[in-house]
Amino acid sequence: MNTNAIKDLLYRMADDALIIAHRHSEWTGMGPLLEEDIAFSSIAQDKLGHALALYSLLHDLGEQQPDTIAFTRNERDFHCCQFVELPNGEYDFSLVRHFLFDASEKLRYDALQHSTYEPLAKLARKMRGEIRYHIYHGQTWMVQLGGQGSEESKARMQAALDEAMPYALGIFETTDSENEIISSGLFEGELALRDRWIAYVTEIVNAASLRMPDVQAITPVFGGRKGFHTADLQPLLDEMTEVFRLDPSAEW
Amino acid sequence: MATIISLDPRVTRAQIDPDRPDPLEPKHELDQFHTYEVFHQQKSGGRHVHVGSLHAPTKELALLMAKEQYARRGQTLNLWVVNTRDVVTMPSEDSEIFETTPEKKYRDVSAYMVRNKVEEFKKEQQGTKA
The domain of A229 spans 3-246
Could you give the CA distance from residue A65 to residue A107 in angstroms, rounded to a whole number? 28
CA B55/CA B32 separation, integer angstroms: 8
Residue ranges making up the domain that contains B41: 36-88
Answer yes or no: are the C-beta atoms of A209 and A154 closer than 8 Å: yes
pLDDT in tens, A173-206: 999 999 999 999 999 999 999 999 999 999 999 9
Name the residue in chain B with its Cα closest to that of A34: B55
Nearest to A168 by CA among A111, A116, A215: A215
Is B26 among the domain residues? no
ipTM over 0.95: no
Position A65 confidence tier, pLDDT thresholds 50, 70, 90: very high
At A117, is the secondary structure helix, strand, or coil?
coil
A235 in a structural domain: yes
Amino acid identity for residue A167 in this structure: Y
Using one digit for the tens of pLDDT, what is the confidence trace for B86-95? 999 988 888 7
Rounded to whole angstroms, the Cα distance separating A159 from A225 reads: 26
Out of A33, A35, A148, the one facing B58 most closely (by C-beta) is A148
What pLDDT, on a 0 to 100 scale, did the predictor assign at position B111? Answer: 64
For the stretch A11-47, what's the b/e string if a residue is b when 16 or more beta carbons lie within 10 angstroms of its beta carbon?
bbbbbbbbbbbbbbbbbeeebebebbbbbbbbbbebb
Amino acid at A11: Y
DSSP A61-90: TT---HHHHHHH--GGG----GGGTS---S
Exposed, middle or buried, A157 (CB in 10 Å: 0-12/13-18/19+)?
A: buried
Does residue B82 have a pLDDT over 90?
yes
Number of domains in chain A: 1
Residue of A38, A148, A239 with shortest CB distance to B68: A38
State the Cα–Cα distance between residues B64 and A169, nearest whole angstrom: 28
Q: Look at residue A251 and tell me if it is in a domain.
A: no
Please, which pLDDT band fits residue B129 given cuts at 50, 70 and 90? low
Tens digit of each residue's pLDDT (9 = 90 or more) over A91-123 = 999 999 999 999 999 999 999 999 999 999 999
Contacts of A42 in chain B (CB under 8 A): 68, 72
DSSP 8-state class, residue B18: T
Q: What is the pLDDT of residues A160-174, one digit of tens each?
A: 999 999 999 999 999
Taking contacts as CB-CB distances below 8 angstroms, the residues of chain A near B57 are 144
Is A228 an 8 Å CB contact of chain B?
no
The mean per-residue pLDDT over the stretch A216-239 comes to 97
- CB-nearest partner of B69 from A35, A141, A144: A35
DSSP of B37-72, one letter per residue? Answer: EEEEE-STTPPEEEEEEEEESSHHHHHHHHHHHHSS
For residue B42, what is the domain's CATH number?
A: 3.10.20
Residue/partner pairs of A52-60 with CB below 8 Å, 24 or more apart: A53/A123, A53/A126, A53/A127, A54/A10, A54/A13, A54/A14, A54/A17, A54/A123, A55/A14, A55/A18, A57/A10, A57/A119, A57/A120, A57/A123, A58/A7, A58/A10, A58/A11, A58/A14, A60/A119
How far is B64 from chain A, CA to nearest CA, in Å?
Answer: 7
Residues with Cβ < 8 Å from A51, sequence gap 6 or more?
Answer: A14, A15, A17, A18, A21, A70
Residue B98, in any domain of the structure: no
pLDDT band at A135 (very low <50, low <70, confident <90, very high): very high
Q: Total structural domains in chain B?
A: 1
Q: Are strands B34-41 and B48-56 parallel, antiparallel or unpaired?
A: antiparallel
Q: pTM for this one?
A: 0.88
* DSSP one-letter string for B56-120: ESSHHHHHHHHHHHHSSSS--SEEEEEEGGG-----GGGGGGG---TT-GGGSGGG---HHHHHH
Mutation site, B61, B63, B81, interface A, largest A CB count within 10 A:
B61
Chain A residue numbers with beta carbons less than 8 Å from the beta carbon of B67 are 39, 133
CB contact under 8 Å between A39 and B55, yes or no, is no
- The CATH number linked to A189 is 1.20.1260.10
For residue A176, the model assigns a pLDDT of: 96
Size of interface A-B (CB pairs under 8 A): 33
